[in-house]
A = this chain, B = another copy of it.
Amino acid sequence: MDTKQDISKRAYDQLHTDAEKIRQLIQVQMDNLTMPQCPLYEEVLDTQMFGLSREVEFAIKLDLVDEQEGRQLLDNLEQELSKLHDAHTKTSLK
């Protein structure tokens, strides 16, 4: 029988997995599909971040994930994607 702690751990793991998927998707998109200046990039990013923020809020409401840690996960991902984006833009401009 799962305890609350087990479920909470799975919630954190799942959120990190989903954040990592977004990171990979954005990386692939920048490497192959479109320029980061393309509106499609922004749209995919916004949609994916929205989806993840819904998961985080849901986990917080179920008291499985700490509110601050959940927001931190989203902030960290946004910062990493922003760095990826900047690095790619600089390379493209060379």
Contact = CB atoms under 8 A, between A and B. Distances in A.
Tell me the dominant secondary structure on chain A's binding face: helix
Interface string A50-66: 11101100110111100
Number of copies of this chain in the oligomer?
Answer: 2
Contacts of A55: 54-55, 58
Contacts of A47: 47, 50
Contacts of A11: 58, 62
Chain A interface residue number, banded: 20 to 34
A10 interface: yes
Interface in A26-51: 47, 50-51
A14 B1 CA distance: 23
